[in-house]
Amino acid sequence: MGPYTITYFAVRGRCSALKIMLADKGQEWKEVVVDFPDWMKGSLKGTCVFGQLPKFQDGDLVLFQSNAMLRHLGRNHDAYGHDGKEAALIDMMCDGVEDLRLKYIKMIYQEYDTGKDAFIKDLPNHLDKFEAVMTKNKTGFLVGNKSSFADYNLFDLLLNLVVLSSTCLDSFPSLKSFVGKMSAQPKIKAFLDSDAYKKLPINGNGKQ
């Protein structure tokens, strides 16, 4: 067992990208699954820096904020670029993924019934930005010539978006090929095929 512990609800949600990354890096981790009635009692919430999960432990380092966790793993597992310039570009792309993830989460949790169709209609206006970066880089990754934490984050979000709209990548060949290649990486494939992944809903309210 590696040094990592992930504490979260029984959903893929904001932990999926980092679990995919850990799996691809051949890491193991321990999971503490929190059920919502227990969470509502408030004692764990009170110990969380921002009153929310996930919580990530690496030995005695305790982190909150899923993107901070991805960055930490990027540093630990050689997925944060070759130099400062690549690292800055990877940060930029991760922030771009976060912007789209937030729109997705807002639609899922706050306006699924009224906003889903408009979200899907508007998706190409966001996906085309990632398509352009991926096409220009020519390596099959967002930045540099190997996967960074931003790639895992984008990959996870794209998997969710394809569940929402199965055709959403059809006009984006670079993104489609990226999802195909990442999904076929043996360690990623084994994780995505595992019960540990498949049994979890994408989101806490059952919408997807």
d(CA 80, CA 70): 10
Near ligand GDS by CB under 6 A: residue from 92, 102, 132, 163: 102
Q: Does 66 bind ligand GDS (CB under 6 A)?
A: yes
Q: Compute how many residues bind ligand GDS; rule: CB under 6 A.
A: 13
Q: Does 13 bind ligand GDS (CB under 6 A)?
A: yes
Choices 23-31, 59-67, 114-122, 175-183 (CB under 6 A): range interacting with ligand GDS: 59-67
Q: For 167, phi and psi rounded to 5 degrees? A: -100, 5
Q: Does 14 bind ligand GDS (CB under 6 A)?
A: yes
Q: Does 111 bind ligand GDS (CB under 6 A)?
A: no
Q: Does 79 bind ligand GDS (CB under 6 A)?
A: no
Are residues 96 and 130 in contact, defined by beta-carbon separation less than 8 angstroms? yes
- Class of residue 103 by CB neighbours under 10 A (exposed 0-12, middle 13-18, buried 19+): middle
Choices 46-54, 73-81, 135-143, 152-160 (CB under 6 A): range interacting with ligand GDS: 46-54
CB of 170 to ligand GDS, least distance (A): 28
CB of 68 to ligand GDS, least distance (A): 8
d(CA 139, CA 174): 10
Strand partners, 31: 6
Residues 6 or more apart whose Cβ sits within 8 Å of residue 77 = 21, 25, 27
Nearest CB to ligand GDS, comparing residues 6 and 23: 6
- Which residue number has the CB closest to ligand GDS? 52
CB of 97 to ligand GDS, least distance (A): 11
d(CA 130, CA 56): 28
Near ligand GDS by CB under 6 A: residue from 30, 38, 52, 171: 52
Q: Does 144 bind ligand GDS (CB under 6 A)?
A: no
Are residues 133 and 142 in contact, defined by beta-carbon separation less than 8 angstroms? yes
Q: What is the DSSP letter of 119?
A: H
Preceding peptide of 3 cis, ω within 30°: no
Q: Extract the tokens encoding 185.
A: 């990486």
Residues that bind ligand GDS (CB under 6 A): 13-14, 45, 52-54, 65-67, 102, 105, 109, 204
